Amino acid sequence: MVQAALGFDLDTKHAYPEVTQADADFYRENGYLIVENAMSMDEVEELRRETTAICRGERGEIRNGLKHSPEETDEEIISRYLCIHFPHKISDVMYRHLAHPVIVDALTQVVSPNVKCMQSMLFIKAAGKPGQAWHQDEDYIPTRDRSLVGGWMALDDATVENGCLWVIPGSHKHGILWPQGIQNDERFDCTEESYGFPYSVKDEIPVEVKAGAIVFFNGYLLHRSLQNRAKSGYRRVLVNHYMSAESFLPWRGFKEGTPIGKADYRDIVMIAGKDPFAYKGIEDLARPSVRPTKQGGCVW
Ligand SMILES: O=C(O)CCC(=O)C(=O)O
C-alpha cells in the first residue's frame, strides 16, 4: 500500500500505482520490475531542478570538483557530468525521494518489511556520454542475504537511443557473481565488465520507460547501459540502492581490524520498518563525488 516516509509529501493530484502480488511475482521471476507513472510530473520536475542546483554547486561541496563559471548556462553545466554519487547527502529533495511511496510499497513486498538505503547516484548522461558495462550491483555493494535492489527513477524518457538500461531477465537466479575485468570499450565509462556468464546479447532486452517510471532491479541481475547516441538532451535518472535491514553491510572501508563477519556500514537511511541494529547508531561517512570518466583517467 502506498504510504509516506521520511516526510515525503504525497502529491494529492497523482494516482500512485500500487505494486500488486503479480508485480512482486514478476520481480522474483525476472529480477526486475517496471512501474510506469510511479512519480508525478511535479516530482519529476522537482528532481530535475534539484539536479541542476546540485551541479551548480548550490547544495554544497562535491568531491573531484564541480568546475564551471557562474555565467555558464544550466545546460552547459549539467552536460559536463555523467554521474554524481551520494546526492542525498547534500540535498533534502534527493533525501526525501529515497522513500518515494512506490519504492516503499515495492521493497516492503520483495525485500523485507524493514528496508534500508545506503547509496544514491544521479546520472545525467548528456548526449554523447558513455554507458555502464555488464555488471551485477552486488559486485559493488555486497549484502549478506542477496537482498540488494536498485530503484531507478527516470527523470527523462529512457530509450535505446539515449542509453536506457538493458537487462538479462532471470539472470539473478543463479545467485552467482560472475568474474569481472577491465574493459577498454569506448561505449562504456570506467566500470569493470562482467564476463563468463551463460548468456549472449540475444538474451538482453532494453528497458525503455517514460519519465516518472521507477525500475527495480535485483543486485544479482546482469545489466548494462549503452551510450547516449541522441543529438541533444540528457537521460537523467536517480538510482538508489536498498537492502533488507536485517543484513549487515560489509561495504566501503570498514575499520581496520574489524572481522569481516562484523563489518557493517552504518551510513544508512531507514525507509521502512524497524532497524534491528539501531543500537549501533548511524554514521555520516559518504561524501558526494563526481564519477571519474575515461577522459579524466579511470581509477581501477
Ligand atoms: O543508468 C545507468 O546508465 C546504469 C545504472 C546502473 O548500472 C546501476 O545503477 O547499477
C-alpha of 23 from chain center: 20
88, part of any domain: yes
Element of type H or E holding 205: strand 205-207
**Ramachandran category for residue 77: left, alpha or beta (phi over 0 → left; psi -120 to 50 → alpha):** alpha
Measured in angstroms, how far is the CA atom of residue 236 from the centroid of ligand 1? 11
66 closest CA partner among 76, 80, 50: 80
Atom of ligand 1 nearest to the CA of 224: 7
6, part of any domain: no
**Residue in the block written with cell 512501474:** 35
Atom of ligand 1 nearest to the CA of 158: 1
pLDDT in the model for residue 4: 57
- For ligand 1, atom 10, the nearest C-alpha belongs to 137
Please report how many Cα atoms fall inside a 13 Å half-sphere around the Cα of residue 208, on the Cβ side: 5
295, part of any domain: no
**Residue in the block written with cell 535485483:** 218
Whole domain around residue 276: which residue ranges? Answer: 31-290
Rounded to the nearest integer, the mean pLDDT of the chain is 94
Measured in angstroms, how far is the CA atom of residue 126 from the centroid of ligand 1? 14
Burial class (CB in 10 A: 0-12, 13-18, 19+), 159: middle
- Ligand 1 test: best mutation among 32, 225, 238, most atoms within 8 Å of CB? 225
218, part of any domain: yes
Specify the range with the lowest mean pLDDT, choosing from 14-28, 69-83, 272-286. 69-83
Domain count, the chain: 1
Q: CA geometry: angle at 149 spanning 148 and 150, to 5°?
A: 130
- Ligand 1 test: best mutation among 121, 134, 153, 165, most atoms within 8 Å of CB? 165
- For ligand 1, atom 2, the nearest C-alpha belongs to 225
Give bridge partners of residue 34 from the DSSP assignment.
215
* Phi, psi angles (nearest 5°) of residue 150: -90, 140
| Residue pLDDT, tens place only, 155-201 | 999 999 999 999 999 999 999 999 999 998 999 998 899 999 999 99
Atom of ligand 1 nearest to the CA of 137: 10
22, part of any domain: no
16, part of any domain: no
80, part of any domain: yes
Set of cell numbers at residue 298: 579511470
pTM of the model: 0.95
| Residue pLDDT, tens place only, 120-144 | 999 999 999 999 999 999 999 999 9
Measured in angstroms, how far is the CA atom of residue 83 from the centroid of ligand 1? 10
Instruction: List pocket residues of ligand 1, CB cut-off 6 Å.
Output: 123, 131-132, 137, 150, 165, 223, 225, 237, 239
Measured in angstroms, how far is the CA atom of residue 224 from the centroid of ligand 1? 7
- Ligand 1 test: best mutation among 156, 223, 243, most atoms within 8 Å of CB? 223
CATH code of the domain in which 210 resides? 2.60.120.620
Q: Above 60 in pLDDT, residue 300?
A: no
- For ligand 1, atom 9, the nearest C-alpha belongs to 239
250 closest CA partner among 113, 98, 143: 143
pLDDT in the model for residue 68: 74
4, part of any domain: no
pLDDT in the model for residue 70: 76
- For ligand 1, atom 3, the nearest C-alpha belongs to 225
The greatest distance separating any two alpha carbons of the chain, rounded to the nearest whole angstrom, comes to 52
Percentage of the residues of the chain whose pLDDT score is greater than 90:
84
Cα–Cα distance between 255 and 118 in angstroms, integer?
17
| Residue pLDDT, tens place only, 21-56 | 999 999 999 999 999 999 999 999 999 999 999 999
